[in-house]
């Protein structure tokens, strides 16, 4: 009796152990199969069980972290995160091959859990296929037309610049952090086009929204998102910072939703005042294609807001920093402004062609600050070959823009801030390797608008002010990664000229 009882207990314990062992083996093997490299997949480090290559990736400096891997494996590196498969591509030739020559094969956005769970596939940035095509075509033509005869984009920007220069004037040469003013000003240009209105720099509700936007960006680049991407089903249910992120986006969405409702009440179908009006008109058309609906209106509007604010404003913050650190370059820009525009009128976009030096400085700021170092991820739409490797359908493509913007074969002094990169005999010189907006069919939708904003804002600021480090402060060019490569927060002095 005793014996048989012992035996039973022993047997139970053993079978439990065997069962656990069997389970563990099964999970490991299943995980191995899941993470197995396809034949001819680009080379890369062996993925660890469950974590894949997560530990080969430093979230805080993702643009630098794969450096060792690139040195070891070459210009195309294959990586695996859980069941997500990715390929990193470096250098002008290969990036062009993927984004332009084979652009059609790399056209989609991946379904990344942390992004999908926030936005699904609505809007401009995260949509694919027919819906993306229609949303993008509509947004491009609407932005081009704005403001629909009445007020041009250039005028809207110039109007905002008056507010911005006045606000900076109020600082009276004392050190200030330009972040929120510039962010608000740049955001107002998008707001003017999409909502038909700007927001006052003292509007606390709008300030709060900009803060949420900034926080959302930082969250997207945090370790939490990476963990979320690997265990989405689990993480969705746990309390954690991404719950805040969901709440923040809900807040942003309800803000835009209210503005849309207001438009529905008081719009005049004969005259579209802004992007939302134009979109509502499109929705009302008899033969409106299926992708013009409320969800896409909301998300496309938010996408313009999100994609168009921090990118441009971060670039401008880098520009001021470079001017303060390179006073002789700032002096040459001012000399050009004085001779072409003078002090009595605002810069206009027509001035750009007569201002090669200023134009070169802006390009060089964009090159060296590389605000989106790893582009926005793409996904292969079909099985593809790249540089002789097999890249299966459904693989994420990360085009390393830094590797192009710092390509030793393309730039004389890639690591030095040098406007001469864009000058030849005193004339502005275009460079093929200048691709901060990416390239091909899915390149930045706001490039024209961003280039106009950068020129008008930058030129107007340097026309009115001289930017300098506060007394006894050494400004730093160190960067800090959120979803964008930002300058570290800094204070600066703006002296009226
Ligand atoms: C200096 C400023 C800017 C930079 C450096 C920049 C850069 C980029 C890059 C690298 C992409 C990814 C393209 C790709 O996947 O190949 C992108 C996409 C996008 N950008 Fe910009 N951008 C800037 C300003 C703007 C502005 C002002 C707007 C708003 C009008 C905007 C709207 C968008 C949109 C909607 C997309 C998604 C396009 C798509 O998926 O089809 N961007 N941008
Ligand atoms: C991107 O390119 C830069 C410059 O060549 C390099 O240092 C970095 O390691 C690359 N990053 C990735 C993720 O491939």
Mutate to test the pocket of ligand 2, among 377, 403, 481 (most ligand atoms within 8 A of CB): 403
Asked if residue 125 is part of any domain, the answer here is yes
The answer to whether the beta carbons of residues 372 and 484 sit under 8 Å apart is yes
The CATH number for 448's domain is: 1.10.630.10
Asked if residue 244 is part of any domain, the answer here is yes
The answer to whether the beta carbons of residues 92 and 404 sit under 8 Å apart is yes
At residue 124, does pLDDT exceed 60? Answer: yes
Calculate mean pLDDT across residues 305-312: 91
- Separation of CA 184 and ligand 1 centre (Å): 18
Asked if residue 12 is part of any domain, the answer here is no
At residue 30, does pLDDT exceed 80? Answer: no
Calculate mean pLDDT across residues 202-218: 84
- Protein residue with its CA nearest to atom 39 in ligand 1: 125
The answer to whether the beta carbons of residues 402 and 438 sit under 8 Å apart is no
Asked if residue 468 is part of any domain, the answer here is yes
Calculate mean pLDDT across residues 16-40: 74
The answer to whether the beta carbons of residues 372 and 439 sit under 8 Å apart is no
Which residues approach ligand 1 with their CB closer than 6 A? 124-125, 136, 303-304, 307-308, 311-312, 315, 371-372, 375-376, 378, 436-438, 442-446, 449-450
Asked if residue 23 is part of any domain, the answer here is no
At residue 434, does pLDDT exceed 50? Answer: yes
pLDDT tens string 384-420: 999 999 999 999 999 999 999 999 999 999 999 999 9
- Protein residue with its CA nearest to atom 5 in ligand 2: 403
At residue 60, does pLDDT exceed 60? Answer: no
- Separation of CA 446 and ligand 1 centre (Å): 5
The predicted structure's pLDDT at residue 1: 55
455 closest CA partner among 370, 347, 371, 382: 347
pLDDT tens string 244-267: 878 888 888 999 999 999 999 998
Mutate to test the pocket of ligand 1, among 111, 444, 450 (most ligand atoms within 8 A of CB): 444
What's the domain count of the chain?
A: 1
Asked if residue 270 is part of any domain, the answer here is yes
Tokens coding 350: 């027509």
- Separation of CA 253 and ligand 2 centre (Å): 35
Asked if residue 472 is part of any domain, the answer here is yes
Q: What is the average pLDDT value for the chain, to the nearest integer? A: 88
The answer to whether the beta carbons of residues 275 and 301 sit under 8 Å apart is yes
* pLDDT top residue among 17 and 262: 262
- Protein residue with its CA nearest to atom 31 in ligand 1: 446
- Protein residue with its CA nearest to atom 21 in ligand 1: 444
Distance CA 381, CA 488 (A): 38
* pLDDT top residue among 470 and 117: 470
Ligand 1 atom closest to the Cα of residue 99 is: 16
369 closest CA partner among 316, 433, 409: 316
At residue 149, does pLDDT exceed 60? Answer: no
- Protein residue with its CA nearest to atom 30 in ligand 1: 446
Please give the residue range of the domain that contains residue 333. Answer: 39-489
Question: How would residue 433 be classed by pLDDT, with cut points 50, 70 and 90?
Answer: very high
Calculate mean pLDDT across residues 142-160: 79
- Protein residue with its CA nearest to atom 14 in ligand 2: 66
Is 131 touching ligand 2 by the criterion CB < 6 Å?
no
Calculate mean pLDDT across residues 156-167: 96
At residue 49, does pLDDT exceed 80? Answer: no
* pLDDT top residue among 244 and 7: 244
The predicted structure's pLDDT at residue 148: 44
At residue 289, does pLDDT exceed 90? Answer: no
- Protein residue with its CA nearest to atom 1 in ligand 2: 403
At residue 269, does pLDDT exceed 90? Answer: no
Asked if residue 352 is part of any domain, the answer here is yes
- Separation of CA 443 and ligand 1 centre (Å): 7
Is 67 touching ligand 2 by the criterion CB < 6 Å?
yes
Query: Pairing between strand 396-399 and 84-89?
Result: parallel
The answer to whether the beta carbons of residues 122 and 373 sit under 8 Å apart is no
């Amino acid at each position: 009796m005793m014996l048989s009882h012992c035996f039973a207990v022993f047997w139970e314990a053993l079978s439990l152990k065997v069962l656990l062992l069997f389970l563990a083996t099964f999970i490991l093997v299943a995980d191995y199969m899941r993470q197995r490299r396809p034949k001819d997949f680009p080379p890369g480090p062996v993925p660890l069980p469950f974590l894949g290559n997560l530990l080969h990736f430093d979230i805080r400096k993702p643009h630098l972290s794969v450096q060792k891997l690139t040195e070891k494996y070459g210009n195309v590196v294959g990586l695996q995160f859980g069941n997500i498969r990715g390929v990193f591509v470096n250098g002008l030739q290969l990036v062009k091959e993927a984004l332009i020559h084979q652009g059609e094969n790399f056209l989609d956005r991946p379904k990344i859990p942390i992004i999908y769970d926030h936005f699904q596939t609505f809007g401009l940035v995260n949509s694919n296929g027919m819906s993306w095509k229609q949303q993008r075509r509509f947004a491009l033509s609407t932005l081009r037309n704005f403001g629909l005869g009445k007020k041009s984009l250039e005028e809207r920007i110039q109007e905002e610049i008056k507010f911005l220069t006045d606000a900076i004037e109020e600082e009276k040469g004392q050190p200030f952090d330009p972040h929120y003013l510039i962010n608000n000003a740049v955001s107002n240009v998008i707001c003017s086009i999409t909502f038909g209105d700007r927001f006052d720099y003292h509007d606390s509700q709008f300030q709060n929204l900009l803060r949420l936007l900034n926080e959302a960006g930082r969250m997207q680049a945090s370790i939490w998102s990476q963990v979320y991407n690997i265990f989405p089903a689990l993480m969705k249910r746990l309390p954690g910072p991404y719950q805040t992120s969901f709440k923040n986006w809900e807040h942003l969405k309800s803000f835009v939703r209210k503005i849309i409702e207001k438009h529905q009440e008081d719009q005049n179908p004969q005259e579209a005042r802004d992007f939302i009006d134009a979109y509502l008109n499109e929705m009302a058309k008899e033969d409106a294609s299926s992708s013009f609906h409320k969800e896409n209106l909301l998300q496309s509007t938010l996408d313009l807001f999100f994609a168009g604010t921090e990118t441009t404003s971060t670039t401008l913050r880098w520009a001021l920093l470079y001017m303060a650190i390179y006073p002789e370059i700032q002096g040459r820009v001012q000399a050009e402004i004085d001779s072409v525009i003078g002090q009595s009128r605002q810069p206009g976009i027509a001035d750009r062609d007569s201002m090669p030096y200023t134009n070169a400085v802006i390009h060089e700021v964009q090159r060296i600050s590389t605000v989106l170092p790893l582009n926005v991820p793409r996904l292969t739409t079909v099985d593809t070959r790249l540089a002789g490797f097999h890249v299966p359908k459904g693989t994420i493509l990360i085009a390393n823009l830094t590797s192009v913007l710092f390509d030793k074969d393309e730039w004389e002094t890639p690591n030095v801030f040098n406007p001469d990169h864009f000058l030849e005999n005193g004339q502005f010189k275009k460079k093929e390797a200048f691709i901060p907006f990416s390239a091909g069919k899915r390149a930045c939708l706001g490039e024209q608008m961003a280039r106009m904003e950068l020129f008008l804002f930058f030129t107007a600021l340097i026309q009115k002010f001289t930017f300098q480090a506060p007394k006894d402060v050494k400004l730093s060019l160190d960067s800090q990664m959120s979803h964008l490569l930002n300058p570290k927060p800094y204070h600066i002095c703006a002296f009226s000229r």
